[in-house]
Structure 1
Amino acid sequence: MNSAHQEFSPQVAEQAVHWLIELQGGALDPRQQQAMQQWLQAHEEHRRAWEHIQRVNQRLRGLSSPLAHAALQAPRSASRRRALKTLLILGVGGAAGLTLQPHNPLPSLLADYRSPVGERRRQQLDDGSQLHLNTRSAADVRFDAEQRLVRLLEGEIQLTVAEDARPLRLLSDFGLLQLSGGRYNLRQFEHYSLLSVHQGSASLAGNSLAAGLQARFNGPQWQASQLLDSNAGAWVDGMLVAAHMRLGDFLDELGRYRRGQLNCAPEVAELLISGSYPLADSERILDLLEIALPVRVRRFTRYWVSVEARA
Structure 2
Amino acid sequence: MSGAKVPAISEAVAQQAADWLTVLMSDEAGEQERRDWLRWREMDPEHARAWAHIEAFSQRFGSVHKGAAVQALAGAARRPASGKRRQLLAWLGVAGGAGLLAAQGGARDGARTLLADYRTATGERRDIALADGGMVSLNTASAVNLRFDGRQRRIELLAGEIMIVSGHGAGSDRVGNDAPLVVATREGLVRALGTRFSVRQLDGESRVAVFESAVEIRPLDGAGAPLLLPAGRSATFTRQYAAAPQAVEAYADAWSRGQMIVDDVTLGEFLADLSRYRPGLIHCAPEVVRLRLSGVFPLFDTERILNMLPNSLPVQVRSRTRYWVSVEPAP
TM-score relative to the length of structure 2:
0.79
Contact 1:13 1:53 (C-alpha < 8 Å) held by counterparts: no
Contact 1:121 1:133 (C-alpha < 8 Å) held by counterparts: yes
Match of 1:115 among 105, 114, 120: 120
Which amino acid counterpart does residue 203 of structure 1 have in structure 2? E
CA distance in 2, matches of 1:211, 1:159: 14
Q: CA deviation at 1:57?
A: 4.6
Contact 1:107 1:153 (C-alpha < 8 Å) held by counterparts: yes
Please say which of residues 112-121 and 8-17 is displaced more in the overlay: 8-17
Residues 294 and 125 (structure 1), Cα distance of their counterparts in 2 relative to 1, 3 Å cut: same
User: C-alpha deviations, 1:67-121, integer Å up to 9, x for none?
Assistant: 4475479899549x8646633641457x9x8547698322211111111100000
Match of 1:180 in 2: 193
Which amino acid counterpart does residue 42 of structure 1 have in structure 2? M
Q: CA deviation at 1:66?
A: 7.6
User: C-alpha deviations, 1:246-285, integer Å up to 9, x for none?
Assistant: 1111111100000011122222221111010000110111
Match of 1:32 in 2: 33
Q: CA deviation at 1:13?
A: 5.0
Contact 2:93 2:111 (C-alpha < 8 Å) held by counterparts: no
CA distance in 2, matches of 1:286, 1:69: 32
The RMSD of aligned alpha carbons is 3.5
Q: CA deviation at 1:53?
A: 3.8
Q: Secondary structure at the match of 2:213?
A: strand
Q: Which runs of 5+ in 1 are unaligned?
A: none
Which amino acid counterpart does residue 132 of structure 1 have in structure 2? S
Residues 198 and 74 (structure 1), Cα distance of their counterparts in 2 relative to 1, 3 Å cut: closer
Contact 1:10 1:101 (C-alpha < 8 Å) held by counterparts: no
Match of 1:150 among 124, 140, 155: 155
Q: How does 1:42-61 map to 2 (within 5 A)?
A: 42-54=43-55, 56-57=57-58
Which amino acid counterpart does residue 46 of structure 2 have in structure 1? E
CA distance in 1, matches of 2:215, 2:302: 34
1:132 equivalent to 2:132? Answer no
1:161 equivalent to 2:166? Answer yes
Residues 291 and 99 (structure 1), Cα distance of their counterparts in 2 relative to 1, 3 Å cut: farther
Residues 19 and 295 (structure 1), Cα distance of their counterparts in 2 relative to 1, 3 Å cut: same
Match of 1:248 in 2: 268
Contact 1:118 1:256 (C-alpha < 8 Å) held by counterparts: yes
Contact 2:266 2:293 (C-alpha < 8 Å) held by counterparts: yes
CA distance in 2, matches of 1:115, 1:88: 13
Q: CA deviation at 1:227?
A: 2.7
CA distance in 2, matches of 1:76, 1:38: 20
Contact 2:198 2:209 (C-alpha < 8 Å) held by counterparts: yes
Which amino acid counterpart does residue 141 of structure 1 have in structure 2? L
Which amino acid counterpart does residue 275 of structure 1 have in structure 2? G
CA distance in 1, matches of 2:165, 2:7: 40
Which amino acid counterpart does residue 251 of structure 1 have in structure 2? L
Q: Secondary structure at the match of 1:266?
A: coil
Q: Which runs of 5+ in 2 are unaligned?
A: 95-99, 169-176, 218-224
TM-score relative to the length of structure 1:
0.84
Which amino acid counterpart does residue 229 of structure 2 have in structure 1? L
CA distance in 2, matches of 1:262, 1:191: 24
Match of 2:110 among 105, 116, 135: 105
Match of 2:301 in 1: 281
CA distance in 2, matches of 1:280, 1:133: 14
Contact 1:131 1:160 (C-alpha < 8 Å) held by counterparts: yes
